[in-house]
Amino acid sequence: MLTQVARVSRHAIAIARAGAPHLEPAEILHLCGGCSRSTSARVRSVSLISLPLRLPPRPHHHNHHHGRQSHHHCCIRQDKRPSSVRPFSISARLNPRYLISEGRTTSPPDKEPEEPASLRASPFYLETGYSIFAKRPSRPFPPPFVSLPSGSFSDPLTTHNVSRGRRPYVNGEPVRGITNGDDAIIIADKTFLAVNDGVGAWALKDRGHAALWSRLIAHFWAREVMKTFENADSKGEDVDLADLNPIQNLEVAYNETKAALKGGLLKPQQDGDQRDNQNQTADESKSQESISARTSKEKEKEKEKEKSDANDILGTTTASSALLHYRRPSSGSASSKSPTPVILATTLGDCKVLVIRPSSNTVLYHSTEQWHWFDCPRQLGTNSPDTPLGNAVTDTVDIQVGDVVLVLSDGVTDNLWEHEICHTVSASMQKWQAGDDDAKDGPVYVARTLMNAAREIAQDPNAESPYMERAFDEGIAAEGGKLDDISVVLGVCRARNLNQEM
């Protein structure tokens, strides 16, 4: 039996203590809504007041969304809450079973696709980096997405070869991006960043492969976005901002993913499966006479559906991306004679897109999380009612050169408050600009620092976290950070053909 205990947030107590130092602990507890009837609860809560005031404040929660959100433009917003931030150690202890990876691009050096001419002519690009942490290795992708192992002792033990390697393939082409546990990330042509968060609970199913769902949707999504620029190149035209439609691209990617995973699971012991199916058919025929309520036509439809779905690969994933483009100056505008960089932020679910201006340590934009209920975000895939056209949202955000665009999985936002993310990124950018030796790898250092900050909280059973507070709001007992896959993908907006000083 789960016993739920009402508990006051340490943030609320710390803030109340800072704002009213003359009050007694019991009065602070009363103002914070704590229960003073239980002596044990009182002692526990009062002891928390002595914690340092570096703890972050209670965040503002957005309302849950049950319908389609409207598109809107973002205005600049500065966080007015206390700027105290928890100190994070970059060299936190690492359990060897966890997997960490980082880099500037997700494309292998020998597989880097050629950048479309319309993108090369763009006045802006993203200087990119990523850092990812997997709480556990993802389930291996099944054939036909990877090559089959050898079936004979006279052959090599594996059919992996130099030309193909261990990369997964779909429809004859290598799958773009990188898998991180159940997450998938992708950086495409210095303009497109995406993070998809596969729902890990599908690992409990025999045919569950959430990581494959998230990876394929990211692959097809990036490919569809790049097709817009390639089609413009073939016509000798430029791509206007109005020509870009990431939601429609995601819809196509979703449908292609469903088609690729429909009946896509090849079972190694097909003969045994056929015998099991034959035995099952025989048993059904014996009991056919006892089932009088169903017609033979209905049973045929059910059998056909079961047969057609028997090898489907199951899974669901959230989706989020940031696409960099620009707005051309209007012909009649004297104030704007140069193009303006623009981010198209698209989300479905609880992954987040953030735009941060390090020079002023402010958050210019943050996407809104979408939930069915607590800990159940909107998602694409098996048995989900959500669709890109029906539920995804794209926001258009004007930015400046030097702004940092981040696409983050909930492994970051469940462990760090927004002002902590902003402070960590801004401080890392300052070290990079100052030429610090630790920051010589630039955007990778910024991504690594943020990933480590989130990981430190995720692995701390006694830490405060946004996820813990949201759980308390729902009446669920929770402690510490949330151990999850952590994906950080970012890009710093740069002007092309200009020697930008850091």
Q: What is the pLDDT of residue 301?
A: 59
Q: What is the pLDDT of residue 149?
A: 58
Determine the Cα–Cα distance for residues 70 and 76; give it in Å rounded to an integer: 19
- Output Rg (C-alpha) for the chain, integer angstroms: 26
Measured torsion, CA atoms of residues 193, 136, 411, 477, in degrees rounded to the nearest 10 = 160
Q: Residue 342 corresponds to which tokens in the numbers above?
A: 């623009």
- Helix, strand, coil % over all residues of the chain, rounded to 5: 35, 20, 45
3-state secondary structure 262-302: CCCCCCCCHHHHHHHHHHHHHHHHHCCCCCCCCCHHHHHHH
Q: What is the CATH number of domain 99-264+311-495?
A: 3.60.40.10
Helices (runs of H) and strands (runs of E) counted in the chain: 13, 18
Cβ-based neighbour number of residue 418 at 10 Å: 19
Determine the Cα–Cα distance for residues 97 and 99; give it in Å rounded to an integer: 7
Q: What is the pLDDT of residue 216?
A: 97
CB 255 within 8 A of CB 300: no
Per-residue pLDDT of the chain (502 residues; tens, 9 = 90+): 333 333 344 444 344 444 444 444 444 333 343 343 333 332 223 233 233 333 344 444 444 444 344 444 444 444 444 456 677 665 444 454 568 999 999 987 656 667 777 677 789 999 999 999 999 888 888 888 887 655 555 555 544 444 445 688 999 899 999 999 999 999 998 999 999 999 989 988 988 999 999 999 999 999 999 999 999 888 888 889 999 999 999 999 999 999 999 986 553 333 333 334 444 444 454 445 545 555 666 666 555 555 556 678 999 999 999 999 999 887 655 556 789 999 999 999 999 999 999 999 999 999 999 999 999 999 999 999 999 999 999 999 999 999 999 999 999 999 999 999 999 999 999 999 999 999 999 999 999 999 999 999 999 999 999 999 999 999 998 889 999 999 999 999 999 874 444 4
Residue with tokens 């309520």: 293
CB 250 within 8 A of CB 346: yes
The H or E element containing residue 466 is helix 466-473
Q: What is the pLDDT of residue 236?
A: 83
Q: List, in order, residues 6 or more apart from 459 with CB less than 8 Å away.
A: 92, 95, 481, 483
The H or E element containing residue 124 is strand 124-134
> What are φ and ψ of residue 121, in 5° steps?
-85, -5
Q: What is the pLDDT of residue 233?
A: 85
Determine the Cα–Cα distance for residues 98 and 79; give it in Å rounded to an integer: 34
Measured torsion, CA atoms of residues 51, 52, 53, 57, in degrees rounded to the nearest 10 = -50
| Terminal alpha carbon distance of the chain | 57
Q: What is the pLDDT of residue 119?
A: 72
Q: What is the pLDDT of residue 150?
A: 54
The H or E element containing residue 426 is helix 418-433
Angle between helix 246-261 and 210-235 (nearest 10) = 130
CATH 3.60.40.10 intervals, the chain: 99-264+311-495
CB 12 within 8 A of CB 58: yes
Q: Which amino acid is at 343?
A: I
Q: What is the pLDDT of residue 146?
A: 81
Question: Mind giving me the DSSP string for 289-340?
Answer: TT--SS-HHHHHHHHHHHHHHTTPPB-EE-EEEEEEEEEPPPTT-SS--S-E
Residue with tokens 């097709």: 227
CB 9 within 8 A of CB 57: no
Q: What is the pLDDT of residue 413?
A: 97
